[in-house]
């Protein structure tokens, strides 16, 4: 599995944990334990933030990869153009 896919899976797992914490907090609040639900909501926010950070890092890695690929394509195009010029000048 690629690093990007692993990061995405980790971000999705954190999102799922955040949702689970929110659902648990709702249950705790309904049972009359608001202090417990606040802790679960705080954990959910932290997991959501961590997931967003992972996604942001993945997007940045992907952006760098795309730029590198564009640069490589530009170099390849330049080489092909040079070969064409040399072949047509003979």
pLDDT one-digit tens code per residue, 36-88: 778 878 888 898 899 889 889 989 999 999 999 999 999 999 999 999 999 99
Helix (H), strand (E) at residue 10: helix 3-30
**DSSP output for 11-57:** HHHHHHHHHHHHHHHHHHHHTT-HHHHHHHHHHHHHHHHHHHHHHHH
pLDDT(7) > 80: no
Q: Angle between the 34-89 and 3-30 helix axes, to the nearest 10 degrees?
A: 160
End-to-end Cα separation, the chain, in angstroms: 49
Q: Which domain holds residue 63?
A: 3-89
Whole-number pLDDT of residue 90: 63
Domain count, the chain: 1
**pTM here?**
0.61
């Amino acid at each position: 599995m690629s690093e990007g896919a692993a990061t995405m899976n980790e971000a999705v797992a954190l999102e799922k944990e955040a949702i689970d914490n929110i659902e648990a907090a709702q249950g705790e609040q309904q049972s009359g334990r608001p202090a417990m639900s606040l802790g679960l909501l705080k954990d959910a926010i932290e997991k959501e933030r961590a997931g967003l950070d992972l996604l942001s890092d993945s997007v940045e890695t992907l952006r760098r990869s795309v730029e590198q690929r564009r640069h490589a394509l530009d170099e390849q195009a330049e080489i092909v153009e040079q070969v064409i010029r040399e072949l047509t000048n003979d």
